[in-house]
Structure 1
Amino acid sequence: MKFIFMNLMPYRDLPENFEKDYESVYISIPRTLYDPVKGHEMYNDYIEQYELAIDLGFDAVGVNEHHSNGYGMMPSPNIIAGTLARKVKDSEKACLLILGNSLALYNPPIRVAEEFGMLDVITGGRLIAGFPVGTSMDTNYAYGVSPAELRPRYYEAHDLIKKAWTTDEVFHFNGKYNQLRYVNVWPRTHQSPHPPIWIPGGGASIETWDWVAENDYNYSYLSFYGHKFAQDKFDKFWARRLEKGYDMNPYKTSFVQLICISETDAKAQEEYEEHINYFFEKSFHVSPRYAEAPGYRSPRSVAAGMRSQYGSEGAGAQLRKGLNWQQLIEQGFIIAGSPESVRDQLKEASKKLHVGNIIALLNHGSMPHELACKNIELMAKEVMPHLRDMWDEQWPVTNWPEIQLNKNKEVMK
């Protein structure tokens, strides 16, 4: 089992009644609510948390891209990745997961190929390249990309980057959205032919699953509704892979889970409950009118997504009913408790979902720096060592940089 520490970098000081007084944490959130002095402290706290995770032996640290929001203060994941690159280089095994750059937002997309190349070289071949389409809020509303063009732009950008990474000669590219007379990306990536590619997604698109399998990529399911909500998605994902003749290697997938650990179950609730509530009530406060631009996905997918988030029986509706701490655990939104409780919950969830990579969210909402560090340390010392060998006898590790694959072979010996 592989463990990735990811920090959304939330703004942790939104007003007490934010969800009642303001329309949305995305797109229309007033800039006047942002205090740069507090932001300075938060950014540096979050970078320290990443550095702690590297020191404590996480397999990777992950960053991602969001815009115009108070949910995650990382409009440029590559800047944060750059601050961590040398720390990753000097670590025993840590890799750098950029989950990722929203390809359709880069003009031209070879900017992604160049910056990922830089980071891969700086880290000595420890980069994992994430290529998300990006949420509708980030891409259509914040950055103004037409929903009808988003996915064609994404696929064209993907093809351009792959060709730039795998072609030694200077070439020209004449696409619908990108016309380049000279493509010659310097520096070339440290890994050959290129870093492992992971595709983050938040839906259940058969087309995406097939495309990921055909390209031998990792599919990363990013949902903050927890492992029980994800069960149906993973069941369908694995059924589709088998239908298309692909294997069931759990390292072909990864999954995001909110985790809270303390000395006892009761103390976990005492320490984390207010911050989890902040996350779901404030950081997750998104107006329905910004959730999905028409044309972002197929009508069927949009309808399913809206039912899930805003329908009376969906996961979003369950949250808005005001679930208490125990209900959040029982329904899988969070995994929480003593180290032993968390180990049991996480092992059960991983087995049921059949995933080999856990992206652990250990900093939630308004959580203070000291508590986040405690959560990271308990995860590394009291949980991860007990779950690492879950799949070792059954499946080889795939879709990781060579340094991690070699490390895994050493452990198995």
Structure 2
Amino acid sequence: MPFDGLPDDFKANHRSVWVDISPELQDVKRMHVLFNDYLDELEYAAVKGFDAIGVNEHHSNAYGLMSSPNMMGAALSRRIMDTQAQLLVMGDAVSLYNPPIRVAEELAMLDVMCGGRLITGFPVGSSQDANFAYGVKPASMRAKHREGFDLVLKAWKSKEVFSFNGRFTKLRYVNPWPKPLQNPHPPIWMPGSGSVETMDFAVEMDVPFFLLSYFGANFARGNFEKYWERVELAGRDRNPHRAGMVQLVMVADTDAEAKKLYEKHVQYFYQRCTHIYPGFTEAPGYKTVRSLKDVLPAKGSAVKSRPDSFAAAQKYSWEELIEQGIVIGGSPDTVRERLEAAAKESSIGNWILLMHIGSMPRELAMHNIDMFTEKVMPSLSSVFSESPHNWWPKPVEGFESAQVDPVARSVRR
């Protein structure tokens, strides 16, 4: 959910889009329109048949304006009741919340409000958000995340009031009202940027690992090779629904038309919205030595930059973005073939598709959603259909949803 009003000379005259971006660049009146446009697009995706619609969390930046995923989720919760879509909150980095019981309360509220459709994501949090914008100590982030995660789970599951005496959080009474509608709790997905510790945590907790990356299916291949090795070592099954990733998808009538429609909006995103001061990318202690070794070029390598380098992606042409798999874009046949190939190659059963990127206007995002749902999605629905999705909301026994008026929905049906 980027801000689309960054000036042409932004990169030349501003150090970073994240953390210390100048407040003078804010156009709050424009943001009012953008928030409503983005909500319209998400509602439209639900109406058009997406399995779920999702929100996330970022702070102090023009790259993603959703500082509160739960507020966005609340705005959507009643508006999707006449669709089959689930509600994915891929935010709530528990290490940012003090006390993290707030996360348990608000997500439980959302699950009740949307009728048991909630899917939750618990990211550790980016260094920009957690360390620089919220002041969380890098070296203690994972321990704080784990403790907060444990507290949220216990709060959801416990049938009694209890006390919590952790290293970071101490509470005499833990008693969230309400509990989630889904019993004992909504499905949990574990998002990360490729750190092996996050993969290991997902495997340990028996929840799906989601790669949050803007570098596409080609970059993801190596990450998922590592992940599936860990799944196998733990003795768990290679169910494709244990894996998921973010992917930019742009659909048009032809490959040439896709470039014409979407190129400038994708370039806006990579050239302005990913212009991040390197010192903000990963604070010392944020990533372990083990995970750093996995992404840094090998000693003596001719390649000098990391494969997940925004600095490199900012220079790519449309053709290079397509070749690298950063964007899966083109005709319906092109998009369908490449998505299916990537899914099968790395056994990825869940895809978070970014149908809006950069400076894309609302109507173009709606067009992209139309093209995908009508001409691509039907042919992909059977991929991995033989594998049970054990991390998806299930009907709540004895529950009958409230009748919610969809109000004056403006999206096309």
Aligned partner of 1:209 among 199, 215, 220: 199
- Summarize the Cα distance change of 1:144–1:311 in structure 2 as closer, same or farther, 3 Å threshold: farther
Measured after TM superposition, the shift of residue 315 of structure 1 is 4.2
User: Within 1, Cα distance between the matches of 2:350 and 2:281?
Assistant: 27
1:391 counterpart (363, 378, 384): 384
Between the aligned partners of 1:202 and 1:245, the Cα distance in structure 2 is 24
Cα distance change, pair 148–316 in 1 and its aligned pair in 2 (3 A): closer
- Answer whether contact 2:271 2:314 (CA < 8 A) is retained: no
What count of residue pairs does the alignment treat as equivalent?
Answer: 392
Distance 1:320 1:210 in 2: 28
Deviations 1:98-132 (A, max 9, x none): 00201011111111111111110111110011111
Number of the residue aligned with 2:409: none
**Shift in alpha-carbon separation, 1:208–1:313, aligned structure 2, 3 A:** closer
TM-superposed deviation, 1:317: 6.6
Q: Give the Cα–Cα distance (whole angstroms) in 2 for the partners of residues 278 and 307 of structure 1.
A: 28
Q: Which runs of 5+ in 1 are unaligned?
A: 1-8, 405-413
Indicate if the aligned counterparts of 2:193 and 2:213 stay in contact, CA closer than 8 A.
Answer: yes
**1:266 aligns to what?**
256
Once the two structures are superposed, the pairs formed by residues 208-357 of structure 1 within 5 Å of their partners are 208-302=198-292, 304-305=294-295, 311-312=304-305, 314-316=307-309, 319-320=312-313, 322-357=315-350
Return the structure number with greater helix share. Answer: 1
The one-letter amino acid of 1:209's match is M
Corresponding residue number in structure 1 for 2:29 = 37
Task: Identify the match of residue 75 of structure 2 among 80, 83, 108.
Answer: 83
Say if 1:277 and 1:321 are closer, same or farther in 2 by CA, change over 3 A. closer
Cα distance between partner residues in 1 of 2:101 and 2:305: 43
Supply the AA of the counterpart residue of 2:321. Answer: L
Q: Aligned residue for 1:107? A: 98
**Partner secondary structure for residue 223 of structure 2:** helix
The residue number in structure 2 matching 1:121 is 112
CA contact (8 A) 1:140 1:293 kept: yes
Q: Using the TM superposition, give the Cα deviation of residue 193 of structure 1 relative to its aligned residue in structure 2, in angstroms.
A: 0.5
- Residues 1:64 and 1:128: Cα distance change in structure 2 (over 3 Å): same
CA distance in 2, matches of 1:51, 1:281: 28
Residue matched to 1:169 = 160
Query: Which SS does the other structure have where 1:402 is aligned?
Result: coil
Partner of 1:150: 141
User: Structure 1 residue 50: deviation in Å?
Assistant: 0.6
Matched-pair contact (CA < 8 Å) for 1:219–1:254:
yes
* Distance across 2 between alignment mates of 1:192 and 1:279: 40
C-alpha spacing 1:305/1:71, structure 2 compared with 1 (3 Å): farther
| Structure-2-length-normalised TM-score | 0.92
The answer as to 2:358 corresponding to 1:368 is no
How big is the shift at 1:210? 2.7
Structure 2: how far apart are the matches of 1:187 and 1:274? 46
Q: CA deviation at 1:152?
A: 1.2
- CA deviations 1:50-69 (Å, max 9, x no partner) are 11001001011111110000
* Deviations 1:177-204 (CA, angstroms, capped at 9, x unpaired): 1111111010011000100111110013
- Of 38, 41, 45 in structure 2, the residue corresponding to residue 49 of structure 1 is 41
Corresponding letter in the other structure for 2:73: A
The separation in 1 between residues aligned to 2:132 and 2:13, in whole angstroms, is 22
What CA RMSD, in Å, does the superposition of the two structures yield over aligned residues?
Answer: 1.7
> CA contact under 8 A between 2:163 and 2:171: conserved in structure 1?
yes
Whole-angstrom distance in 1 between the partners of 2:127 and 2:295 = 12
Instruction: Say yes or no: does 1:358 pair with 2:346.
Output: no
2:405 alignment counterpart: none
| 8 Å contact kept, 2:270–2:310 | no
- Are the aligned partners of 1:172 and 1:183 in contact in 2 as well (CA < 8 Å)? yes
How far the C-alpha of 1:304 sits from its partner, in A, is 4.5
Partner of 1:184: 175
* Whole-Å separation in 1 of the counterparts to 2:70 and 2:294: 32
Q: 1:387 deviation in Å? A: 0.4
Q: Shift in Å at residue 313 of structure 1? A: 5.8
TM-aligned CA distance change 1:306 to 1:21, over 3 Å: farther
Q: Report how far residue 88 of structure 1 moved.
A: 2.5
Structure 2 residue matching 1:335: 3-state secondary structure: strand
Query: Is the Cα–Cα contact under 8 Å of residues 89 and 126 in structure 1 kept in the other structure?
Result: no
CA distance 1:38–1:317, change in 2 (3 Å): closer
Shift of 1:319: 3.1
Maintained 8 Å contact 2:11/2:275: yes
TM-score (normalised: structure 1): 0.92
The residue matched to 1:200 in structure 2 has which SS? strand
CA contact (8 A) 1:280 1:319 kept: no
1:60-79 matches, cutoff 5 A: 60-79=52-71
